[in-house]
Structure 1
Amino acid sequence: MSPPRKNTSTSPAAYAGKNAYGDLLQELTALWQELMTLEAESAEILRMVDARHLASAANLIHYLALRRRDMRPLQEKLAAAGLSSMGRAESHVLSNLHAIITLLQHALGKKARQAPASLIASSKTGPDLLEINTNSLLGKPPAHRCVRIMVTFPSEAADGYPLVKEMLLQGMDCARINCAHDDAGVWKRMIKHIKRARRETGRPCRILMDLGGPKLRTGEIASGLPVLKWQPQRNMYGKVTAPARIWIYPQNDGSTCPAHAHACLPVKGNWLAQVTSLDRLEFRDARGALRSLQVVGKVDGGYWAESMQTTYVKPGLKLYLLRVTDSGVIRRAGHAGEIGALPQMPGTIRLHRGDSLIVTREPIPGHPAQFGEDGRLLRAASIACSLPEIFASAHPGERILIDDGRIGGVIRNVNTEEILVEITQARDGGEKLLADKGINLPDSHLDLDGVTATDIEHLEFVARNADMIGLSFVRKAADVALLQAHLKRLNADKLGIVIKIETRAAFEQLPELMFTLLRSRIVGVMIARGDLAVECGYERLAELQEEILWLAEAAHIPVIWATQVLEGLAKTGKPSRAEVTDAAMGERAECVMLNKGPHVVKAIQMLDNILQRMQGHQQKKRALLRRLHW
C-alpha cells in the first residue's frame, strides 16, 4: 500500500503560512486605524473644504498618514504574499487597503468584518473625481489625446491673429497669458484673437492668466559707454565670407536706420557732402586699430559702405577721406570728419568667483566694480533689487542665486540698506549680470504677501476675462487664502485657481497649500520646474516633481507640467533627445505647458504627437501593457 500523500495545496494560506497572513492582517488593521485617527484629528481642515472636494481632502489625509512611515518593508511582505503592494494607491487609499484586508480575512478563513469606516464617503472613485476636477479646470480633452496642451502667449500674439489660430489648430487646448508682461490693452487683444479662433475653428480653448506675484528681480544697470561694434560674416575657419553693411548718414538728418544694416554710423555736420560712391573712409577705431570703410553707394542723403574687419567705434573719432587721383595714387582728400553721437551700450556687470556684489535697497542703477589706478578695489559691483522687503529676512550664511542659478553666492553681511554677497558660483571666465533677472533666496524665510498691490489691480481684468488664474511664487497657505478672499470680494470665486509650486517654501508646505486650495471649487497645481530646480537643486528636481504628482493625485487635483518643455525646439526649431524624453514624462500630468518661441507651432505639433503615443503606455504611475510589435 502506498503511503498517504502529503497535502500539496497551493492556496495562498498554505503557500504563505497562516502566521504570515495573520501578522499582515494585524499590521494592516493597525494601519487602517492610524488613517482613521488622523482623519478624526483633521475635522477642522475638512470642515473648511468645499463640499465637492470633501472626499478628495479626506483621501489626501489618508495618503499623508500612509506616507508618514517607511512603507517599503510592508510592501515587500505584501508582494511576497502575492497581494497588492499599495504602490499605486494614491487616488484611493482606503479602498485599496480595504481590498487587501478583505482578501487576507478570506485567506485565513475568517468572516470578513467591516473595518471602521471613513466619515467621508463618495459615490465616485478617485480617478473619477480627478477627471471631474480636470474637466472643470481645463475643459474636456480632445478626442485623440487625454493630456491637454497649454501654450504661453508671446507679446506678438496680440497683433498676430494667424499665429493664434494656427496654435489652436495644431493642438493648443489652453492659452496662458502672463500678467508680469505687457498690459491690459495687449491682453485684451490676445483674448479677442482667442475668442475669434475658437469661433472659426470650433475648438475649445481655456484661458489662464498668471498674476506676476512678488517676483524678486535685479534692478537697472547704469548704461555703458557709447560704443558701436560691427563684424563681417566668417566661416568656421575664420575667413570672411561677407562684409558688414554699414549705413553712414548725417547726424542731424533724423532718418531711421535701415533694417538690413549691420550698424548705422552718424557723422557730424555736412562732411558727407564731399563723399562719392567710390571713396574709402579711413580711421583708427576705439582700440587704436587702423580700419577702413569702402563706400559702395549713395541713397538719398546717406551712403552704404562695407567693412571686412571687426570694428569698435566711439563718438569723436576722426574720419579721413581716401580718393584715387587721376594718376592712380590714393591720397587723403578734404578735411577730416567726426563720428557723431552713438547710443549707449546696455549696462552689464561681469562677476567671477570670489568677487563681492552689493545688493542695494534703493533703486539706484547698478555698476561694475570700481578700481583705483593702482588696481586696488575702491567699491564692489552693485545692483538694486525689486523687493526691499528682503532686507528684513535675509541673514549671513544664506545662499543667493541669480538668473536661474547661473550666478550663485553666499550672503556675508546684511544691514538696512545693503546686502554684501560673495560670489561662489560662476563659470571660469565669469558671468554677465544683467538687469531684470530673477533672484532666489532658497534659505531665507521671506515675509511677502502672495498677492501684491499690482496683482490686485490686475484682478479686476482677470476676473472678467479668464477661466482660471495662476498664483505665482506662492509660499504659504495664507497666500492662497488671500487670493480666495479677493476673488470673493469681486464675486469671482467661480474662477479656477492654479497654485504654482516654484519655491522651496511652497514645496515644504505643500499639504497645507492643497487643503487651503480645496476650499475653492475649481483648482489645479502647476509644477514650475525652473525656479523649483534653482531653489531646491537640480539634482532633487526629479524627486520633487514625483512627490508633487503623488500628493496632487491623492487630492484629485489636476497638474500642469511646466517650464522648459521642448524649449530647444520652440526657440531654435530643433529638439534635443533629453527634452523629448522629458516631454514624454508629461503624460503623468493632466496638462503640459509650452513656453513661447519662434517655433512654438512646431513644438505644439511634436508635443501633440508625443502625448498621443505615450498615453498607450503610461497612466500616472501605472505602466499600461499594450500589445508590442514583436
Structure 2
Amino acid sequence: MGIDADRRSRLVDLRNELTELRAEAIAAEASAKELIAAVDPAHRESAANVVHYRAVRSRDLRDLQPRLSAEGLSSLGRMESGVLANLDSVIRIINDALGEAEPDLEEGEIDWGGGKEALALNAAALLGGEPDDRSTRIMVTMPSTATTDTEFVERCAAVGMDLARINCAHDGPDEWRAMAANVRAANAKVRIAMDLAGPKLRTGPIAPGPQVVKFRPTRDQVGTVRVPARFWLGQAPARTDVTEQAPVTDPGWIAARNVGDIVTLDDTRGRFRELRVLQVASTGVLVAGDRTVYLTPGTTVWCDDEQTAIGELPAVAQSLRVFRGDTITLTADMAPAIPTDDGRHRIGCSLPEVFGAIEVGHRVYFDDGKIESVVTRVEPDTVVVGVTRAALNGTKLKAEKGINLPDTALPMPALTDEDIDALGSVVDLADMVNLSFVRGPEDVADLQRRLDNRAASDLGVVIKIETVAGFSALPETLLQLMRTRRIGVMIARGDLAVEAGFERLAEVQEEILWLCEAAHVPVIWATEVLDSLADRGLPTRAEVTDAAAGERAECVMLNKGPHIVEAIEALTDILARMKGHIDKKRPLLKRLGAWDSGL
C-alpha cells in the first residue's frame, strides 16, 4: 500500500535534513582527521563518533525532533553511542517507506550496541569490572587516619568501596604510601586514584586575633544552667569526653589538687569565677562552673593559697565580615590582612598570575560563591572588586578560602611544581591520576609527556572538569585525552557550580555526560554526594535523589566524613535499586511490582 503525497513530501523533507546532518558530521570528521588519527587505536572509532556528535549537536534540532516522532521515527534523542548509525537507521526507514534504495553503511561505523560495549570496556579498563549488584562503581576519599586505621579501610572495602581516592593536596608521600598499602591489604581488587591538587587560588592570611579561650555553660530557654561549663586546667587526658582545655604554667599545682577543691580566678573581663574540681589526672584537672569564663595567658588561678597561671593559648582566627556594597582589594602582597568595619577590605591573593590576566568587569567569587563581586579597578599588584552578593547580615571571609574567576583566562598550567614532585609517588602507588583544574588539551598533553618520560604511559588518566574554561574546551580535550588508553572524566561539581552558576549546573553536568557517552569515556560523578549522611549520619532528601542520578555515570565519588561507612552502604543500596530503572538517558522498563495489590 502506497503513501499519500503529503506524507511523501514530509518524509522527503525529513530525509533531506537528516542527510544534511550526516554530511556535516562526515565533514567534521574529515576536518579532525589528524586529531582522530593521533588517538590510541582502541579509541579511534570513538574519537570519530564524538566529532560526529559535536557536529550534529551544534545544530538546534528541536524543530526536527517532533516531526520525526510524528512519523513514528526516532527523534535522535539517544544517538550518543553511535551517531552515524542512528542517522542511517532513520534514513533507511524513510527510504523503505518511500520504496527507495537504502544507503550503504560506512565501513568502521560504530552502532549503538558497539558504542555501549566500547564504553563498558573503557570503564572496566579504568575503574575495574562492574560490581555484582550494580553497574556504577563507588570511589571513596581516604582521610588522613587511613594511614594507621587499617580496620576503617577494611570496613570501607567490605561494604562497597571499589576505588580509593588519595588527595595529594593533603598529607605527604609517606602518608600516601601508608594509605595505599592499607588499601591493597584490605582488598587487592580496590583500585587507587591519586588527585593532583592543581593551582590553588585562595585568599591570603588574616592577622590573628587575641589569645583567648571561652568556656560557657549550656542553658535552657529561660536561662537555667543545664550543663555547667567544663574544661581541663592543664592538658586533657587521652580518654575523656571533655576535650576543651587551658594549659597552666606549673605542673606541680596540678599534682596538689584533689576532687572537690574550689578553684578561683578573675577572668579576662575582671569577673570573679569559682570552679569545682571534678576529676584529677596526671596531666590536668577537670573543673566545672555555672558561669561563662574567658581566659588569656597569664590569668592567675588560685586554689587555697597556691597559685598558677594560664599558659600560651592559640590565637583566635579572625575573618573579614563582608556586606553587599563593600569593596575588597586583592593584593599580590600576602601580608596578613587586618579586619576592618568600614566596608573597605584588603586581603592577599595566592596566585600572582591573576593580576596580569584579570580585567574590569570580570566576576570574582569567594568561598564557594558565598560572596560574589565584580572587578572595578585593576592595577599592577592590586585588584579592586565591588561586592554584589553577600548574606544580609554579612558573610565571613576567612583565610585560605577559594577564589573563582569564571571570566578570566589564567596563563598557567594545570600542573604545579608540587604536582610534578608528587608524580613520582603517583606513578609508584596508583592505578590512575586525577588531573585538577584542566582548562584545555595542552594541560592533558603536559601530563601525558611527563608520564611518558617516567615510562608510565599505561597509568590511567582522569581529567577533572571544574571550570567554565575546562567545560568549553572539553571536545578538544577529550581528543587529546584519548591518546591514552585508560581514561575518564570527573565532573567536579563544587568549583564548576560556582563558576557556571548554580542555576546552570544541572544543564552543564548533563552535557558533560552526553559528550562523554559519545566518546565512550567513563564518567565519575563527584562532589557533595550524600555529604550530610557522611558528616552527620542523616542524608537530605535532595541528596538521595542526587545519588540516584549518579547511576548514569560509571562511578560515584564520596568524600570523607565520620559516617562514611554508612554512606557507602547507603549509596550501594541506592545504586543497586536504580540499576534496573535507568541506563544513561534511557529509562529501563523493569517490571513494576509496586502496584500489584491494586489501588
Q: TM-score range by the shorter chain?
A: over 0.9
Deviation at 1:512, TM superposition (A): 1.1
Q: What secondary structure does 2:248 align onto? A: strand
AA aligned opposite 1:312: Y
Distance 2:570 2:251 in 1: 56
- Which segments of 5 or more consecutive residues in structure 2 lack a partner in the other structure? none
Identify the match of residue 214 of structure 1 among 192, 199, 212: 199
Deviation at 1:340, TM superposition (A): 4.3
Identify the match of residue 148 of structure 2 among 159, 165, 173: 159
Query: 1:28-427, aligned counterparts within 5 Å?
Result: 28-114=18-104, 117=106, 125-199=114-188, 204-235=189-220, 238-249=223-234, 260-266=242-248, 278=260, 280-296=262-278, 298-299=280-281, 303-317=285-299, 339-369=310-340, 380-427=344-391
Identify the match of residue 405 of structure 2 among 424, 441, 455: 441
Q: What secondary structure does 1:88 align onto? A: coil
Query: 1:502-513, aligned counterparts within 5 Å?
Result: 502-513=466-477
Q: What secondary structure does 1:414 align onto? A: strand
Distance 1:14 1:309 in 2: 92
Which deviations, in whole Å up to 9, do the C-alpha atoms of 1:583-616 show, x marking residues without a partner? 0000111111100111111001110101111011
Q: Contact (CA 8 Å) 1:351, 1:431: kept in 2 or not?
A: yes
Q: CA distance change for structure 1 residues 167 and 238 in 2, over 3 Å: closer, same or farther?
A: farther
AA aligned opposite 1:304: L
Which deviations, in whole Å up to 9, do the C-alpha atoms of 1:416-458 show, x marking residues without a partner? 3222233332212222222222111111111111111111111
Distance 1:542 1:499 in 2: 19
Q: CA distance change for structure 1 residues 278 and 169 in 2, over 3 Å: closer, same or farther?
A: closer
Q: CA distance change for structure 1 residues 77 and 338 in 2, over 3 Å: closer, same or farther?
A: same
Q: What secondary structure does 1:207 align onto? A: strand
Q: Contact (CA 8 Å) 2:230, 2:289: kept in 1 or not?
A: yes
Q: What secondary structure does 1:17 align onto? A: helix
Q: What secondary structure does 1:541 align onto? A: helix
Deviation at 1:355, TM superposition (A): 2.7
Distance 1:542 1:530 in 2: 12
Distance 2:283 2:456 in 1: 60
Q: CA distance change for structure 1 residues 132 and 521 in 2, over 3 Å: closer, same or farther?
A: same
Distance 2:427 2:504 in 1: 36
Q: How many residues align?
A: 593
Deviation at 1:338, TM superposition (A): 5.2
Q: Contact (CA 8 Å) 2:248, 2:308: kept in 1 or not?
A: no
Which deviations, in whole Å up to 9, do the C-alpha atoms of 1:180-221 show, x marking residues without a partner? 11111001011111111125xxxx111111111112122332
Deviation at 1:279, TM superposition (A): 5.2
Q: CA distance change for structure 1 residues 443 and 158 in 2, over 3 Å: closer, same or farther?
A: same
TM-score (norm 1): 0.88
Q: Contact (CA 8 Å) 2:434, 2:463: kept in 1 or not?
A: yes
Q: Contact (CA 8 Å) 1:573, 1:602: kept in 2 or not?
A: yes
AA aligned opposite 1:525: V
Distance 1:121 1:147 in 2: 24
The reply to whether residue 538 of structure 1 matches residue 502 of structure 2 is: yes
State the partner residue of 2:581.
Answer: 617
Which is worse superposed, 26-35 or 566-575?
A: 26-35
AA aligned opposite 1:100: V
Q: Contact (CA 8 Å) 2:246, 2:310: kept in 1 or not?
A: no
Q: What secondary structure does 2:365 align onto? A: strand
What percent of counterpart residues are identical? 46
Q: What secondary structure does 1:125 align onto? A: helix
AA aligned opposite 1:219: G
Q: What secondary structure does 1:480 align onto? A: helix
Distance 1:24 1:298 in 2: 87
Distance 2:426 2:283 in 1: 50
Q: What secondary structure does 2:99 align onto? A: coil
Deviation at 1:277, TM superposition (A): 5.6
Deviation at 1:118, TM superposition (A): 6.5
Distance 1:442 1:386 in 2: 17
Distance 1:598 1:273 in 2: 36
Which deviations, in whole Å up to 9, do the C-alpha atoms of 1:86-107 show, x marking residues without a partner? 1100111111111111111111
Distance 2:223 2:412 in 1: 52
Q: What secondary structure does 1:432 align onto? A: strand
Deviation at 1:313, TM superposition (A): 2.2
Identify the match of residue 551 of structure 2 among 587, 592, 605: 587
State the partner residue of 1:501.
Answer: 465
AA aligned opposite 1:310: T
Aligned-residue Cα RMSD (Å) equals 2.6
TM-score (norm 2): 0.93
Deviation at 1:297, TM superposition (A): 5.4
AA aligned opposite 1:523: I
Which deviations, in whole Å up to 9, do the C-alpha atoms of 1:104-151 show, x marking residues without a partner? 111111122437x36766897111111111111111111211111111
AA aligned opposite 2:332: R
Q: What secondary structure does 2:102 align onto? A: coil
State the partner residue of 1:4.
Answer: none
- Which segments of 5 or more consecutive residues in structure 1 lack a partner in the other structure? 1-8, 322-332, 372-376
Distance 1:470 1:30 in 2: 39
Distance 2:440 2:21 in 1: 30
Query: 1:548-587, aligned counterparts within 5 Å?
Result: 548-587=512-551
Q: Contact (CA 8 Å) 1:36, 1:118: kept in 2 or not?
A: no
Which is worse superposed, 268-277 or 157-166?
A: 268-277
Which is worse superposed, 400-409 or 205-214?
A: 400-409
Q: What secondary structure does 2:273 align onto? A: strand
Q: Contact (CA 8 Å) 2:326, 2:387: kept in 1 or not?
A: yes
Q: Contact (CA 8 Å) 2:300, 2:307: kept in 1 or not?
A: yes
